[in-house]
Structure 1
Amino acid sequence: MLRLMLLRHAKSDWGDPSQDDIDRPLNARGRAAAHTMAAYFAAQDLLPDLILCSSAQRTRETLAHLLPFLDGEYEIRVQADLYYQNENTYVPILRKEGGTARTLLLIGHNPATEETALSLAGSGPEDAIEDMGMKFPTGALAILDFELETWAKLSPESGHLDRFVKPRDLEIPDE
């Protein structure tokens, strides 16, 4: 069985209009949400074997908040193609880059994060799928499980949505 965790980067800062989009950092709300989601990863023992992260500043900062909460061994690949993707889905990247990972975390952007989750979710709690389709907010996490042996076999509706979690639905942990 394969597990895919799709995490949209936390809220970014739009305060400097001259700043290139790829260089936008997280804002205060985004840093708090990233911390909340990191604590959720730890509390739920969500441990990836492989982390694929967009090269954008806001995704790398989201990842930086997660790292202190992740135990075990994992590989991290920061990839520009997750930022510059030409399609509205990450499926081709997952098929190509998944390798031997059993649990893969992808930290990316919308619309690709939402479209990937929706296209792969063939089953799961209807209310969670509907919620995910209405809005996949910054910092949100979709977890999908697949009865597949290899990422190369990912296909539409081949996954089961285990859960869809938004930072605002979680209790913010104390520092």
Structure 2
Amino acid sequence: MKTLTLLRHAKSGWDDPVARDFDRPLNPKGQRAAAMMGRHLKAEGLEFDHVLASPAARVVETLAQVATGYGCELAPHWDQRLYLASAATLLDLVHELPDGAGRVLFSGHNPGLEELVLLLAGANALRASVEMKFPTASLAEMRFDVARWADVKPGKGELVRFTRPRDLDPTLGPDYR
């Protein structure tokens, strides 16, 4: 059994004057959402054998805030290929994961993360929620009945968790500023 958890970076600051999209930082709401998601991961007992993340500033900051809420470092492996990756690229990265890692966290960007969930997950109510929107700082957890990551196939995953920041704190939803 393999478990893949996908965490989209938290809300970034479009008002920040940065030269490159890659360097865009989190805004205060994003920092709060990421720390809250870290507390949620801890409360739910989620642990990871391997963490793979985009090195973009907003992902680096998201994981730092998640670690603060979680209570320990996540020790991510930074991989440039996750920056704005397509679902196909992300699936390639899944297939490359070390088989000794049973529980993996990917942290990156949309639309790739959302498209990967929709590609891999079988139909259920949680999948329908992801189809509507995969907001910033949201978390999706999928399980695969395989021994090797290379055997993960489209439509064969079970989406067992989809948590948005507003599910944990309504002030982190779109209706609040």
* Superposed pair shares fold, TM > 0.5: yes
3-state secondary structure, aligned to 2:78: strand
Structure 2 spans left out of the alignment, 5+ residues:
171-177
How many percent of aligned residue pairs carry the same amino acid?
Answer: 40
2:18/2:24 contact within 8 Å kept: no
Q: CA deviation at 1:74?
A: 6.4
Structure 1 spans left out of the alignment, 5+ residues:
none
Supply the distance in 1 between the matched residues of 2:113 and 2:84 (Cα, whole angstroms). 13
Match of 1:81 in 2: 81
1:7/1:108 contact within 8 Å kept: yes
Structure number having the greater strand percentage: 1
Match of 1:49 in 2: 49
- Residue identity opposite 2:163 in structure 1: V
3-state secondary structure, aligned to 1:58: helix
Match of 2:10 in 1: 10
TM-score of the aligned structures, taking structure 2 as reference length: 0.88
Supply the distance in 2 between the matched residues of 1:80 and 1:97 (Cα, whole angstroms). 15
2:142/2:161 contact within 8 Å kept: yes
3-state secondary structure, aligned to 1:122: coil
CA 1:67/1:74 → structure 2, altered by over 3 Å: closer, same or farther?
closer
Residues 71-99 of structure 1 show CA distances to partners (whole Å, capped at 9, x for unaligned) of: 5x9652011010053x3341111111344
1:7/1:140 contact within 8 Å kept: yes
Supply the distance in 1 between the matched residues of 2:121 and 2:67 (Cα, whole angstroms). 27
Residues 24-57 of structure 1 show CA distances to partners (whole Å, capped at 9, x for unaligned) of: 0100110010011000000001110000010100
